[in-house]
Structure 1
Amino acid sequence: MTARQMELLNLVKRHAPITGEQLAEMLGVSRPTLRSDLSLLVMLGLIDAKPKVGYFVGKDYRVENAALQKLKSMKVGEAMGVPVNVPDTLSLHDAVVALFMENADTLLVVNEQKRFVGIVTPKDILKMTLGNPNAGAIPVSMVMTRYPNIVTVAPGDPVTEAIRKMIAHQVDCLPVIDPDGGKEPEVVGWIAKSNVIRLMADLTADGIIGGTATE
């Protein structure tokens, strides 16, 4: 957690309820500058927010919160899930089938060498197939977003960095790639907001998070 995020926690603890504008004024920055920091703290349950009221201490907040310390030390490799990989020659028709069969919202595309080359989403497929009855035979390589124009993380990155990237780039999930793979790296996993939520739920179940906010 950054120094500014810790300072935000302290300000909310001392002055709650407090608005984003007031926090920005106290820190001498603009309101948009704090957006990703506040979103992260809300996502972690350390602060809560109510419209027209402001921010206040979250139920999971503690000055020396054990869950926070655990989360800070966790790496993406400990929280990532198994990705749904498809070959770049897969047709759009079969890509739609894969999305439904795997209950996925994004497919990771790999080449013949099993190297990561892109991602394809339902929105990508929809753009190509609307008004085009023959689009089903088009390969996903024609519609995918190509690497390296994709936000990614590595297994050794902190989970908090993955959360920051998801918030900053407004995406729900990130491919996890081998950082030593070069121009066409190997995809080794997938981390999504659902992974993070499940991780926090596991910490709760294990008794790492508990009690009420420190007064």
Structure 2
Amino acid sequence: MKRHAPITGEQLADNLGVSRPTLRSDLSLLVMLGLLDAKPKVGYFLGNSYRTNREPLQQLNTMKVREVQGVPVNVPDYLSVHDAVITLFTENADTLLVVNEQKRFVGIVTPKDLLKITLGNAGAAAIPVSMVMTRYPNIVTLMPDDSVMDAIRKMSLHQVDCLPVIVPREEQTADPEVTGWVSKSNIIRLMADIAMDGELGEPEL
């Protein structure tokens, strides 16, 4: 943004290699927080909050993932696709983390994964999620001591809405333990809280 501003949403999407709709909610949030400003027919540029107060960004660099991670929705690898769909709705989750009998992290299942297997497949409901999940280690993950800014960068780079937080076991070939997850909604709430705290802390003129 600093290099190309003012820049339109379409240009920004092209530079990042994503679609314009993918960025819409993120850009709206950044404008709301004052980190970006936007002018019709001109584009986006750095906002007053970014130019005058870098403290929120510094907080994201120093705050650790373990401080903001949420409780994941774990399902066993033998759970059926049918039950996985029900779990997504009942838990209001965008992603399910899959664990084996030893409660170790082995993969993730998203609504897109479930939709792919069920379309035109009458018997798909009985298939276990282990057959449709994306398997670890082919998954972008976080460590508890990673910074929140690291999480934001990974989400943006890999275009994912949720990142599992794992702790590797001493045996390098063993599956890791999953301790939590960081979702885009976690990040949005955190940034909103930081922005609110900043506003409350400003002295009155």
Q: Which amino acid aligns with 1:111?
A: N
Matches within 5 A, 1:137-156: 137-156=126-145
* Rounded Cα–Cα distance in structure 2 between residues aligned with 1:57 and 1:168: 20
- Give the alignment's TM-score, normalised by structure 2: 0.79
The separation in 2 between residues aligned to 1:70 and 1:123, in whole angstroms, is 34
Unaligned runs of 5+ in 2: 9-13
Mapped partners of 1:186, 1:195: distance in 2 = 21
- Residue of structure 2 in register with 1:84 after alignment: 73
Alignment RMSD (CA, Å): 2.8
Structure-2 residue corresponding to 1:48: 37
Moved more, 172-181 or 46-55: 46-55
Aligned to 2:177: 186
Aligned counterparts of 2:40 and 2:101: Cα–Cα separation in 1: 50
TM-score where L is the length of structure 1: 0.75
Cα 1:73–1:97 change in 2 (3 A) is same
In the alignment, does 2:145 pair up with 1:159?
no
User: Offset of 1:208 from its aligned partner?
Assistant: 6.0
Identical-pair percentage:
64
Which segment is superposed worse, 64-73 or 153-162? 64-73
Aligned residue runs from structure 1 range 1-215, under 5 A: 8=2, 18-19=6-7, 32=15, 44=30, 45=33, 46-50=35-39, 52-180=41-169, 182-183=172-173, 184-207=175-198
Partner of 1:26: none
Task: Report the alpha carbon displacement of residue 191 of structure 1 after superposing the two structures with TM.
Answer: 0.4
Measured at CA, do residues 51 and 118 of structure 1 come closer, stay the same or move farther in structure 2, by a change above 3 Å? farther
Amino acid at match of 2:42: V
> What letter is aligned with 2:55?
A
* 1:51–1:160 Cα change, 3 Å: farther
The answer on whether the counterparts of 1:84 and 1:107 sit within 8 Å (CA) in structure 2 is yes
Tell me, in whole angstroms, the C-alpha distance in 1 between the residues paired with 2:167 and 2:199: 31
Residues 53 and 100 from structure 1, CA distance in 2 versus in 1: closer, same or farther, beyond 3 angstroms?
Answer: same
What displacement does 1:82 show? 0.7
> Where in structure 1 are there 5+ consecutive unaligned residues?
21-30
